[in-house]
Chain A
């Protein structure tokens, strides 16, 4: 069994699908609901604004010409027949950490599960890397064969974590945004700790959120887990991102890591604010990694990660926002 197969039972996946079919018509938000109302590029008619409608659909110029002030007109479009879901995986080598519970594995499981749900609804799925690296930069999935292609792509990404390449730049994110249909959504699976000096990710995020499309971020946070590892080791040689290993033996220091934690929080806050453009779904609480066990091996750690995934994934707000079911 491939390691990237999501640790969700078929029964759990069936429950998620049924929940979506039950809940989707009643949910007021999400790309699937908007698709039914029609948000294609083809204008159909004006209608009166009602509570719950997306304020971005109001035609302010036409509303100003209304006899009664305050009557807002909403533009409606021809309905889309298909939604596009773009899943973007953070494929930096840091995602393979922690060694015993790699976040990349969690991200790939989430990606595979989302693909199953989307393909079940006959949606189009685009898989993309956030950074340059092994594997196809962009994979478009349709129909029955999509699951197998997603598995192969995920295995390639997983195998690529072992290639000690220097830090790679962003992939062609504009191309991903261009592939999205108006009734589309993008999901980014990442720890969101990457550096974005050229604002490429921010631009991508904003571009995705135009035309009433949404961007969901599944942030995988293992900072406390890794700090606990360092605290237990007490003395260690820390490997920095430039792969330079200090010759000196270093010592754990609570104050230093408090500072680091604050810096991480500040970074994510800045990134969240920069990326926000009306359609951003990035919960304040990320998916937090459990603390390490004393004798964690890769095998034991992976098993623990599997149980965490099986417990967390069905409750992710992301699913509800994508109208893929989610918490009740």
Chain B
């Protein structure tokens, strides 16, 4: 500050001298010079500087004003700086210990870089020159670890900062950042992770998010779903889903099940960028393990394992006399859905998943279709014109408890009824001996209803990620996106500043602006003078 003020003062003095110097002796031409005898020489010792009126007073005043404003700006900036320097600095380091921190990029692991950042932060604090300091560290994997005090110097607790076979998520890191202070009055929270920055207001401490690590391509397994067959038209399938980050998906994966390994071709998901899927054959209940080719960025998401218990064929307790059980359906027992006729229904059967038929197509029904619910899936396969020509008779008895009409005739008779829980459906019995179109109508209606009742949609299965060391990795999918671009490093110099908003806006920018305006005015004055002289 002092040297800057001295420089400005010297500048002002030099400007004053410059403007107070005597004008150089004029070169004068006169029209009658040839009549002028030789003139006496001026006395020697001519001095450039004289205490006289400045040559260009307005320009000098502009320059002095510029210097004055510069001094003011310096003084004002210094005053604000001293006011902003805090007495205490408290830093919490939220340290990402997820598995992806072990990823090596550019010759060193992300964890090594993170440790260097912690060292740098400690150094900044140590040199801040404030009265009191404290640092604490929270390691975050799938869960938040305990708050550990960190010394300003000395070795870091490497064991408490080593990567875990766990996945972390930004919300968990922010949760750790927001945790109440544990003996250290926090002014700053430094999050060191390879996850992208998350905007957050911690309501006091200043959040610094330091995203480390360069982009490393990775493929990871994300989910596994089982899709059962439907009456034997399709085979049961296993759908495996994954992500690719920063590199292309591999061509295939290996799924090992009860019947041995099988290769499943990987296809990019057309509906989502960076996602892919593969379809494999379900070989019955048992342990299944899927594995991606090794050698990508994060190995913790390359292998999953799950146990699938679904039988190969759906089982049905078939008690229908008018139609034989389809070969693709296994003969079930009391635990399986029941398919029966109204005449054979026992009261205890109403508590089971149930498909109840009645002899609707045995007699002529009403003339027209009445109200119906469009949401019923089985109606989508029906031709209503054909149905109206051969409308079945309504259900001949009161609907059992829980069933609601889904389709009625124009007389109010119930043709189809449904129950949500346990699943249940009442509809006309299929008849193979009827003339067309009654025969086709009855079969279409029956099998559509049966498919609605017993075929479940593909279900995601619970999976486990297995690390290279055969240890399970919780939430390993959270670490898969190692190919994301690296973020800007945090400015650790902020740690030495204030976390609080200044009480008063600094005035020095205005002083600088005024100094620039004074310089501009001086320049314009000189230009105006020069133009006048040239004219």
* Contacts from A to B (Cβ < 8 Å): 94-95, 97-99, 103, 191, 193, 195, 222-223, 226, 229-230, 233, 235-241, 245, 248-253, 256-257, 259-260, 263-264, 267, 297-299
Instruction: Name the segment of B35-43, B62-70, B156-164, B472-480 touching the other chain.
Output: B35-43
CB neighbours (8 Å) of A237 from chain B are 25-28
CB neighbours (8 Å) of A248 from chain B are 41-42
- In the complex, residue of chain A having the shortest beta-carbon distance to the beta carbon of B28: A236
A-B contacts, 21 listed (Cβ < 8 Å):
A94-B31, A95-B31, A193-B34, A223-B32, A226-B32, A233-B25, A235-B46, A236-B25, A237-B27, A238-B30, A238-B33, A238-B39, A248-B41, A249-B41, A250-B42, A251-B39, A259-B37, A260-B32, A263-B35, A264-B35, A299-B535
Cα distance, A157 to B33, chains bound together (Å) = 23
Q: A94-B31, A249-B46 are in contact. Are A233 and B26 (CB under 8 A)?
A: yes
Which residue of A95, A229, A264, A298 contacts B32 across the interface (Cβ within 8 Å)?
A: A264
Nearest-neighbour CB distance to chain A for B44, whole angstroms, equals 9
CB neighbours (8 Å) of A229 from chain B are 28, 30
Interface residues of B in 506-522 (CB under 8 A from A): none
A250 close to B533 (CB less than 8 A): no
CB neighbours (8 Å) of B532 from chain A are 297-299
Q: A235-B46, A237-B25, A298-B532 are in contact. Are A250 and B39 (CB under 8 A)?
A: yes
B29 contacts the other chain (CB 8 A): yes
B25 close to A249 (CB less than 8 A): yes
CB neighbours (8 Å) of B29 from chain A are 94, 97, 99, 238-239
Report how many A-B pairs have Cβ atoms within 8 Å.
97
B41 close to A226 (CB less than 8 A): no
- In the complex, residue of chain B having the shortest beta-carbon distance to the beta carbon of A267: B35
Cα distance, A97 to B33, chains bound together (Å) = 11
CB neighbours (8 Å) of A191 from chain B are 31
Cα distance, A249 to B39, chains bound together (Å) = 10
Cα distance, A236 to B535, chains bound together (Å) = 23
A236 close to B35 (CB less than 8 A): no
* Contacts from B to A (Cβ < 8 Å): 25-43, 46, 532-533, 535
Q: A237-B25, A299-B535 are in contact. Are A256 and B31 (CB under 8 A)?
A: no
B535 close to A193 (CB less than 8 A): no
CB neighbours (8 Å) of A249 from chain B are 25, 41-42, 46
CB neighbours (8 Å) of A236 from chain B are 25-28
Cα distance, A103 to B30, chains bound together (Å) = 12
Which residue of B26, B27, B30 contacts A226 across the interface (Cβ within 8 Å)?
A: B30
CB neighbours (8 Å) of A297 from chain B are 532-533, 535
Cα distance, A248 to B43, chains bound together (Å) = 10
Cα distance, A235 to B39, chains bound together (Å) = 10
CB neighbours (8 Å) of A252 from chain B are 39
Nearest-neighbour CB distance to chain A for B475, whole angstroms, equals 84
Cα distance, A260 to B38, chains bound together (Å) = 10
Cα distance, A260 to B36, chains bound together (Å) = 5
Cα distance, A236 to B31, chains bound together (Å) = 15
Cα distance, A240 to B30, chains bound together (Å) = 8
B535 close to A298 (CB less than 8 A): yes
CB neighbours (8 Å) of A97 from chain B are 29-31
B25 close to A251 (CB less than 8 A): no
Nearest-neighbour CB distance to chain A for B57, whole angstroms, equals 12
Cα distance, A114 to B64, chains bound together (Å) = 54
CB neighbours (8 Å) of A267 from chain B are 35
B36 close to A257 (CB less than 8 A): yes
Nearest-neighbour CB distance to chain B for A36, whole angstroms, equals 40
- In the complex, residue of chain A having the shortest beta-carbon distance to the beta carbon of B35: A263
CB neighbours (8 Å) of A298 from chain B are 532-533, 535
Cα distance, A92 to B35, chains bound together (Å) = 16
Cα distance, A274 to B25, chains bound together (Å) = 40
Cα distance, A235 to B37, chains bound together (Å) = 16
Q: A260-B35, A263-B35 are in contact. Are A239 and B28 (CB under 8 A)?
A: yes
Which residue of A193, A195, A235, A263 contacts B25 across the interface (Cβ within 8 Å)?
A: A235
Nearest-neighbour CB distance to chain B for A297, whole angstroms, equals 5
Q: A235-B42, A250-B42 are in contact. Are A193 and B35 (CB under 8 A)?
A: yes
Nearest-neighbour CB distance to chain B for A250, whole angstroms, equals 4
Q: A249-B41, A250-B42 are in contact. List 5 more A-B contacts (CB 8 A).
A: A235-B46, A240-B33, A241-B33, A250-B39, A253-B39
CB neighbours (8 Å) of A223 from chain B are 31-32
Which residue of A94, A239, A251 contacts B27 across the interface (Cβ within 8 Å)?
A: A239
Report, nearest first, the 10 A-B pairs whose CB atoms are least far apart.
Answer: A249-B42, A239-B29, A263-B35, A250-B39, A94-B31, A226-B30, A251-B42, A235-B42, A260-B36, A97-B31
Nearest-neighbour CB distance to chain B for A105, whole angstroms, equals 13
Nearest-neighbour CB distance to chain B for A265, whole angstroms, equals 10
CB neighbours (8 Å) of B41 from chain A are 248-251
A256 close to B36 (CB less than 8 A): yes
CB neighbours (8 Å) of A257 from chain B are 36
B31 close to A103 (CB less than 8 A): yes
Cα distance, A230 to B29, chains bound together (Å) = 10
Cα distance, A59 to B42, chains bound together (Å) = 65
B28 close to A230 (CB less than 8 A): yes
Nearest-neighbour CB distance to chain B for A221, whole angstroms, equals 9
Nearest-neighbour CB distance to chain B for A325, whole angstroms, equals 30
CB neighbours (8 Å) of B26 from chain A are 233, 236-237
Cα distance, A76 to B31, chains bound together (Å) = 46
A233 close to B28 (CB less than 8 A): yes
CB neighbours (8 Å) of B32 from chain A are 193, 223, 226, 260, 264
Q: A249-B42, A298-B532 are in contact. Are A238 and B36 (CB under 8 A)?
A: yes
Nearest-neighbour CB distance to chain A for B43, whole angstroms, equals 7
CB neighbours (8 Å) of A263 from chain B are 35
